[in-house]
Amino acid sequence: MSGGHWNYEGMAAEDHLRIVGDDPAVQRRWPRIAAAYLAAADLVAAVEREMDYDLSCDASIPDDEAFDRAAFAAVLDALLKAAPDAWFPRGKWATIQAIQAKETVPGRRSTGSTVSSVARRGSA
């Protein structure tokens, strides 16, 4: 079995985010927090899994800086999409697109990692 650097806690973290985000009381009282938890659940698990595999020497992240940027950008993208439109006076999608454009450093492309794949799936 692969991974295990953190004793497979990534799956529990993802489950916990979903349990809290899906809780009717949380959705009623704190809808933005519920949306953020649900938006982040897949991405947090994907990022943790890739780091875990790397630290356990089951796989390798070839470029730490590119991975760090892509993973952070994917989580930020999901959270921004879950945020209320009213928080973006200049337009929510314009803000998100501007941040996405900054995610890629000139001369570098985002990796084809699980994080990028999850981010693409979430932006559809």
48-103 pLDDT, tens digit each: 989 999 998 888 999 999 999 999 988 898 899 999 999 998 899 998 888 888 76
DSSP secondary structure string, 56-117?
A: TTSS--S-HHHHHHHHHHHHHHHHHHHS-GGG-TT-HHHHHHHHHHHHSPTT-----SHHHH
Q: Percent of the chain at pLDDT above 70? A: 80
Weakest mean pLDDT among 20-24, 36-40, 113-117: 113-117
**pTM to 2 decimal places:** 0.72
